[in-house]
A and B are shown apart, each in its own frame.
Chain A
């Protein structure tokens, strides 16, 4: 009979928690990253960095549905605040990136009718764009969007309402809104 070294049980429990967290939410976070990253390798890196943060802050992660919102928030900040070069330091996701390239080759492209709205998305500011994408692609409620963006449900609801109106206007009257050039004055790092 072998005896585990001190702390081994705790380490195993943490690993099990990480495995459970990934089993519950990993594919959702991966999908979030694929929808926004430059390519498959970058998406895999965002996923790796997100779960690395989760591993290091395992005790801070809320339970249930809120865990996914927490992970989305981390992934969002990684996408926004890190350059691609910084993300690739870990090299944890090289194999996953390669597998993702081949797996995504079989995914059917989105409906052609939706192309104009994807183009119109470019006319939204980054905050408005993210809020409509969280609603449309991650299928989050205003309450969940609020948790991801760190704003209240009330704020999320009204911002989503306004972003929808803007997107609708961009879709209906692209000529009128070509002056809505999106420009980040400055984004804090």
Chain B
């Protein structure tokens, strides 16, 4: 069969597959390298301290400039938020809003169409101008009609944890001529006279990146200046209808779980972060993910203890996944249902193959569905998806 997925095709072009890399004969070079590293005494501690100090100064400067830039922006009334009485948002939702960078692209005619934040604190928002499609987003194809290209923008932000780990790259704001402090500016592509650009900036203690399609650098400057940090109420008022208000989350959870066979003792309210979930789709991934993880944990336990009845029960429950009502609309918005269903099908063999040497299902599921983050521990083998030990010729 000819592969049609580009990732699969590209996989066949891997110049050094994992198993081949593991088997390369490197008799002395690696041990010499490790001994050389261990012998390195080139002022490790002093150098580390110096790097930290330098980075901190850069951040302080970047923050000051960023705040000044935001303060200089004239705030434009946004979306449908102005005028009426201020809605009273539940405390949980306000806490959630405050856990995000609370940024809005305050350009007249633009509105928020999508927002997600995962439990670790990183997230994504999409902004659109004009109408959006059934998925809540404008088309993003490079080969689409030119008029579509300036209708959307995407904002991403990382978690504080990730930033602490990765932000110490020594990068600083770069001279762009935009008059806006930018840490990184990258042209991803050009099409029909438009530029697809990603700009990274610092807001507060977080790095955010704005990706949008612009005609020229002046448009980009305007957009970056319109990226504004607002208070929690203003931010929540700008949310699209797909955002689940916390007051409605209980009924939303009940609706989404309809028609799904639940594992014994399953309690959706115990899923970490479920009460601060922001969109229907993301809530759907958390709920169905927790259900699947729990069934697969039961299945794993049953296999370990040779309890064939419990094993069959878990397999039968997960075999219904293609017909879960919530997947009818979720499958139009993303690949989550498809991935989960593929794991359900793999329960009979216990391995996920995808055309390559198999990966134990529990390890694949743990990584693919994020079971640990959903509060479900899959049991033996769930952390076995590791690279090969030195000198081994096995894939895992």
Interface residue ranges, A against B (CB under 8 Å): 14-15, 18-19, 22-28, 30-31, 34-35, 44, 47-48, 51-52, 55-57, 60, 64-65, 68, 70, 73, 77, 81, 90, 92-93, 95-100, 103-104, 107, 109-111, 113-115, 117-118, 121, 124-128, 132-133, 135-137, 139, 141, 143-144, 146-147, 150-155, 157-158, 161-162, 164-169, 171, 173, 176-177, 179-189
Contacts and interface: CB of A to CB of B under 8 A. Distances in A.
A143 B33 contact: no
Interface in B97-128: 116-118, 120, 122-124
A19 B185 CA distance: 38
B63 interface: no
Given A18-B37, A125-B188, A152-B122, 8 more contacts: A73-B166, A103-B24, A107-B20, A111-B13, A117-B9, A136-B10, A153-B122, A188-B173
A153 B373 CA distance: 12
A77 B228 CA distance: 29
B12 interface: yes
Q: Identify whether the interface residues of A are mostly helix, strand, loop, or mixed.
A: helix
Contacts of A25: 387
Given A95-B32, A118-B13, A136 B7 contact: yes
A79 B157 CA distance: 23
Contacts of B27: 99
A141 B17 CA distance: 17
Contacts of A177: 142-143, 191
Contact of A97 (B29, B47, B188, B387): B29
B48 A176 contact: no
A64 B175 CA distance: 39
B16 A107 contact: yes
A130 to B, nearest CB: 12
**When A and B form their complex, which 8 residue pairs have the shortest distance between CB atoms, in order from nearest?**
A96-B29, A152-B122, A114-B13, A125-B188, A31-B21, A136-B10, A150-B166, A28-B387
Contact of B387 (A14, A24, A100, A164): A24
Contacts of B367: 65, 141, 143-144
B158 interface: yes
Nearest to B121: A152
A125 B389 contact: no
Nearest to B367: A141
Given A57-B48, A154-B116, A155-B156, A185 B186 contact: yes
Interface in B1-49: 5-18, 20-22, 24-30, 32-34, 36-38, 40, 44, 47-48
B262 to A, nearest CB: 25
A130 B46 CA distance: 33
Interface string B152-179: 0010111100110111011111111000
Contacts of B11: 136-137, 139
A73 B37 CA distance: 19
A168 to B, nearest CB: 5
Given A30-B21, A184-B187, A164 B6 contact: yes
A188 B120 CA distance: 27
Contact of A81 (B156, B170, B282): B170
Contact of A132 (B10, B18, B158, B186): B10
Most A Cβ at <10 Å: residue of B6, B13, B36, B47: B6
Q: Identify whether the interface residues of B are mostly helix, strand, loop, or mixed.
A: mixed
Nearest to A28: B387
Contact of A92 (B37, B48, B187): B37
A173 B143 contact: yes
26 contacts: A22-B390, A27-B21, A27-B22, A30-B24, A51-B33, A52-B40, A57-B48, A65-B386, A96-B33, A117-B10, A125-B187, A137-B11, A139-B18, A141-B368, A146-B122, A150-B167, A152-B120, A154-B124, A158-B124, A161-B335, A164-B6, A165-B140, A166-B142, A177-B142, A177-B191, A188-B183
Interface in B184-211: 184-192, 196-198
A19 to B, nearest CB: 6
Interface in B270-293: 282
B269 interface: no
Contacts of B32: 92, 95-96
Contacts of A110: 12-15
B306 interface: no
A30 to B, nearest CB: 6
B89 interface: no
B198 A34 contact: no
